[in-house]
Amino acid sequence: MEQKDFITNYNFKFKKKYGQNFLIDENILNNIVNSVDIDSETLVIEIGCGAGALTKKLVLKTKKVVGYEIDKTLKPILDTISDAKIIFDDFLNRDINKDIENINYKKMFIVSNLPYYITTPIISKIINDKIDVNKIVIMVQKEVGDRLSAKVNSKDYGSLTVFINYYFKVKKLFFVSKNVFLPKPNVDSVVIMLEKKENKYDLINPNLFFKIVRDSFLHKRKTLKNNLKSYNFEIISNVLSEYGFNDNVRAEQIPMEVFIKIANSLSS
Ligand code: SAM
C-alpha cells in the first residue's frame, strides 16, 4: 500500500507544532536509506519516526533500529512495524547513551527526516551528549542545509557553519521538493551527511572558542573588531595579520582555523 493511503486509513490528525510533514515518495526514502552503508551490525537511530515511512526501510537493513517519536497518537501506526525499538518521548529529554547501552553494534548512524523546528537543538544534543555516531544523514530545511555547508566568504557562512564544521565534515547529498510530503510544507528541503571528524583541532578552551564565534557573527554588518570589543583585540589583531587580514575584516571572511587560533591565543 502506498504510504499516503496508509496514513489516510488511520485518520491521523497532523500536528503542525511537532513539524509533522511526512515523506510519501518511495524514491526519496530509498535514496536516504541507501546513502549510508547500513548492514545487520549497524545501529541506526531515527529521530521523529512519524508514520514510519523511513523506519520501515531501515528495518529491512538492520534489526538494530532505535526510533524516537514525541507524538503518542502515532503509536497504533508505528506498532505495525516490528523489529524497531520505538521510544515515545521527546528526543531532546532522553539519555541516548542509556537507551542504547544494551545494544551491540559495529557502527552507528543517525538517519532522520528531522522535525525542523528543533534542528539546531538536536545537532547540539548529539554533540554535547557525546553520542558515538559515525555518520548522520538528515533531511533539513534547505536554508539550514545551505548554512551548514556554506563556504567562507559566502552569505550563508555563520556561527552555525563554524560550530558544525568543527565537529563534522558536511556534505550536501540531494535536494528534496516540498511536493513529496504530506501535508505539503512551505519550505524545500535538502538531505545532508555529517561525518565525524576524527582529528579535531587542538583547542585549549572549547567554550571560549564557541563564545568568540557566536560573538563574532552577532552583528553581521559590523567588523570583527566591533563585534569583539570586550576581548583583548591587540592579541586578535596579531593573529589576523599573521593570516593576512587587517582589522576591518568581517567574521564571514574568517575560516574556522583562524577562529581556533584566535581562541587559543586568548587562552594562553
Ligand atoms: N520520519 C517521518 C517521515 O519521514 O515521514 C516523519 C518526519 S516529520 C518531519 C518529524 C517527526 O518528528 C514527526 O513525526 C514529529 O511528531 C516528530 N517529533 C517532533 N518533535 C520531536 C521530538 N522532540 N522528539 C521526537 N520526535 C519528535
What CATH number is attached to the domain comprising 240? 1.10.8.100
Domain check: are 26 and 153 in the same one? Answer: yes
Residue nearest to atom 5 of ligand 1 (CA): 22
Atom of ligand 1 nearest to the CA of 3: 5
The residues pairing with 193 across neighbouring beta strands, listed in sequence order, are 137, 171
Q: At what angle do helices 159-167 and 206-216 cross, to 10 degrees?
A: 150
Answer yes or no: do 210 and 185 share one domain.
Answer: no
Contact 225, 233 (CB under 8 A): yes
Domain-embedded: residue 238: yes
Q: What is the CATH number of the domain that holds 179?
A: 3.40.50.150
Q: What is the pTM of this model?
A: 0.93
Backbone angles phi, psi at 46, to 5 degrees: -115, 130
Do 260 and 230 lie in one domain? The reply is yes
In this structure, what DSSP letter does residue 151 have? P
Residues 216 and 178 in one domain: no
According to the model, what pLDDT value does residue 2 have? Answer: 81
Nearest CA among 62, 103, 77, 73 for reference residue 10: 77
Domain limits for position 226: 206-267
Note whether 123 and 81 are same-domain residues: yes
Mean pLDDT value across residues 136-145: 98
The answer on 228 and 97 residing in a single domain is no
Compute the distance between CA of residue 110 and CA of residue 66 in angstroms, rounded to an integer.
10
User: Could you give the number of structural domains in the chain?
Assistant: 2
111 and 173 fall within a common domain: yes
Q: Distance, CA 234 to ligand 1 centroid (Å)?
A: 48
Average pLDDT over residues 173-198: 96
* Ligand 1 near 141 CB (within 6 A): no
Alpha carbon distance 186, 181 (integer Å): 10
Q: Ligand 1 within 6 A of 18 CB?
A: yes
User: Same domain for 220 and 183?
Assistant: no
Which residue among 152, 167, 196 closes a domain?
196
Ligand 1 midpoint to CA 118 (Å): 10
* Mean pLDDT along residues 193-206: 88
Q: How many whole angstroms from 48 Cα to the centroid of ligand 1?
A: 3
Domain assignment present for 110: yes
* 170 plus 215 within the same structural domain: no
Residue 5 — very low, low, confident or very high, per pLDDT cuts 50/70/90? confident
Collapsing DSSP states into helix, strand and coil, what is residue 183? coil
Segment 114-126, tens digit of pLDDT? 999 999 999 999 9
Confidence of residue 220 (pLDDT cuts 50, 70, 90): confident
> What are the pLDDT digits (tens) for 71-101?
999 999 999 999 999 999 999 999 999 999 9
| 189 and 213 part of one domain | no
pLDDT at residue 8 in the model: 82
pLDDT at 10 over 90: no
Does ligand 1 lie within 6 Å of residue 50's CB atom? yes
**Are 173 and 210 contained in the same domain?**
no
Helix ranges (H only) for the chain are: 3-9, 26-33, 53-58, 75-78, 96-99, 119-128, 142-148, 159-167, 206-216, 224-227, 233-242, 256-267
Look at residue 188 in the predicted model and tell me its pLDDT. 97
pLDDT band at 201 (very low <50, low <70, confident <90, very high): confident
63: its cell numbers: 534489526
Test site for ligand 1: of 29, 58, 70, most ligand atoms within 8 A of the Cβ: 70
Instruction: Determine which residue's CA is closest to atom 10 belonging to ligand 1.
Output: 115
* Within a domain: 201: no
Q: How far away, in angstroms, is 208 Cα from ligand 1 center?
A: 33
**Per-residue pLDDT reduced to its tens digit, 162-174:** 999 999 999 999 9
Residue nearest to atom 23 of ligand 1 (CA): 90
